[in-house]
Amino acid sequence: MRARRRHPPEATSGLPDYLPEHLQAQREPAPPDELRLVLAPLAFERGVRLLRGAGARFITLLLAELPQPSLLAALALRGDLVVLRAPTGGAQPVRYGSIGAQWPAARWAEQELVEREGVAPIGFEADRRLTLPDADLIDRRLAGLDVFALPYGPVRSGVFEAIQFLIETGGENMPALQTRPFFKHRGMESRFAGLTPDAAVCVAERVAGIASVAYACAFSHAVERALGVAPSASAERWRAVHAELERIACHLDVIAKQAETTALSVGQARFQILKEQVMRMRARLSGSRFARGVICPGGVRCDGAVELDELLATVDALERDLRRDRRLFTATASMTDRLIGSGRVPRTLVEEYSAVGPLARGSGVSTDARHERPYGDYQRLGVRVVTWPEGDAMARINVRFGELVESLRLLRGSIDQLRRQNGELCAPLPRSRSGSAFGWVEAPQGELVIWVEIRRGILGNVHIASPSLRNWALFDHAFPKDVLTDFAFIEHSFGLTPAGADR
């Protein structure tokens, strides 16, 4: 990634003026676009609170080992990744003022740390275990004889990933819902430790399979930023090509599932055909239907058997078909009637939970990592963020339709440049360097952030802040006026993946 110096080097001692005045923190050197501030553990909660007041969006909370044992909070503020770091000095357990008690966005991240790492935030209260769910536990939130609790999952009807929802209903409306992730927890983050970054990218690709490229890119960016390596412009263009094809496949999948729930069979078939065409193009480009094995730290491994002209022709054909199918889809009343007004998520809720991706953009919150902190080829391409204000399932589908068109435009931009110049694809990584950094991408589900630590060329802690987990925290509140039969529409309109959330 080419460094965009938004803070001149001489400013490293001072703090940007958008930070709250009373934030008593020391700035320390960090990779570009990352603003690292050090403060004491007991001032940690206050620091996060002040940043929240200044308009920051919560990303994640983690325990880091490098550069020294610390508690880290990552927040997005004004196009920067603000990292608050509180050195713990090896204290056990780590004590600090609870963040999740005040800020719903931080609740699940904090609870994971409590249950897995044994941190002890002051003022934190958990109501049930998050990370090792019990499928038979029915902990009702509502009392009353006319309300019954309905556990839905982890064995779902149809071919869906495992997750459980505890629905409390009087028959039609759903006054309470609990989302229970972590049935699929495989310990993927710990699988990175001890590997070299080159060997570990296959782990990143298998955290959330439908977003393999996004995970591999975010991981590679983090490694490159930690080690101070910059991939070539051609490599970044290939990454953008694969990432946009992945986004197109994911969005088409959501739209096809939405058509399936309304029994719009031809519509479903149409979008499935388009998706399969994209998957086949990806298989021909990379040898894998999910473009696995392409992205690597330092660049891409690409010996695609496809001519760029042919790829361009596929993009053109896709755009032509998509335009017609979209027009039909949005004009089919039996479809739109079910989506308009369903699962309305107000903007205030999105901000409170720091939701990301098409979910946030469907509620009018313009957040997109490709635009906020542009990386790779997006710095040159410039991304037009698609937002819709309504906050309902229809708005989230409209956001996806808009992003499909935008992705096709970005694809053209990257392919055009590749036709002119297709240079060196993979820069070697320094073998014995150490470092730590965050890397990020806009995955199809939303902003994905990965923290990596490298000690003399070997990976240590890796932490994944997946968009799916962050957005699912909000799902409990997505049914203000909806009934049981709207459930599938609203779930599909979120378009999340349990594999990414559970890791």
Partner 1 sequence: MLAWIARGLRQGTVTTAYPRRPEPAPRGYRGTVEVLAQRGRAPDELAALCPTGAIAVDGAGRVSVDRGRCILCGACVAAAPDRFAFAARHETAARSRAALVVPEGTDDELEPLSQTLAEQARALRRSIHVRHIDCGSDGAEEWEIQALWNPYYDIQRLGFFLTAAPRHADILLVTGPVTRAMREPLERTWEVMPAPKALIAVGTDACSGGLSGSGPLSAGGVDAVLPVDVYVAGSPPSPIAIMHALLLATGRLRPEVAT
Binding residues for partner 1, rule: CB under 8 A, are: 132-135, 154-162, 182-188, 191, 195, 199, 202-203, 206-210, 212, 253, 264, 266-267, 269-270, 272-273, 275-276, 279-280, 283-284, 287-290, 292-293, 301, 303-305, 324-325, 328, 332, 497-500, 502
Q: How far is the CB of 485 from partner 1 (least distance, A)?
A: 15
Closest CA to 418 of 221, 280, 232, 211: 232
Q: How far is the CB of 67 from partner 1 (least distance, A)?
A: 28
Closer residue to partner 1 in complex, CB, 146/303 = 303
For residue 317, the surrounding DSSP H or E stretch is helix 308-331
Closer residue to partner 1 in complex, CB, 47/500 = 500
Distance linking the first and last C-alpha atoms of the chain: 26
DSSP, collapsed to helix, strand or coil, labels residue 369 as: helix
Tell me which DSSP letter residue 303 carries.
-
Residues recorded for the chain? 503
Q: How far is the CB of 322 from partner 1 (least distance, A)?
A: 12
Cis geometry, peptide bond prior to residue 154 (ω within 30 degrees of 0):
yes
CB 57 within 8 A of CB 39: no
SS3 of 79-117: CEEEEEEEECCCCCCCEEECCCCCCHHHHHHHHHHHHHH
Closer residue to partner 1 in complex, CB, 135/483 = 135
Closer residue to partner 1 in complex, CB, 156/412 = 156
Q: How far is the CB of 465 from partner 1 (least distance, A)?
A: 17
Instruction: Output the six-digit token pair for 272.
Output: 């499935």
Closer residue to partner 1 in complex, CB, 183/378 = 183
Q: How far is the CB of 232 from partner 1 (least distance, A)?
A: 19
Q: How far is the CB of 196 from partner 1 (least distance, A)?
A: 11
Task: Measure the CA angle with vertex 473, ends 385 and 187; round to 5°.
Answer: 100
Instruction: Give the strand pairing for 80-87 and 70-77.
Output: antiparallel
Task: Measure the CA angle with vertex 351, ends 350 and 357; round to 5°.
Answer: 55
Closer residue to partner 1 in complex, CB, 180/225 = 180
Q: How far is the CB of 475 from partner 1 (least distance, A)?
A: 17
Q: How far is the CB of 263 from partner 1 (least distance, A)?
A: 12
**In terms of C-beta density within 10 A (0-12 exposed, 13-18 middle, 19 or more buried), how is residue 196 classed?**
middle
Closer residue to partner 1 in complex, CB, 276/351 = 276
Closer residue to partner 1 in complex, CB, 327/347 = 327
Instruction: Output the six-digit token pair for 204.
Output: 């990143």
Strand partners for 71: 63, 86
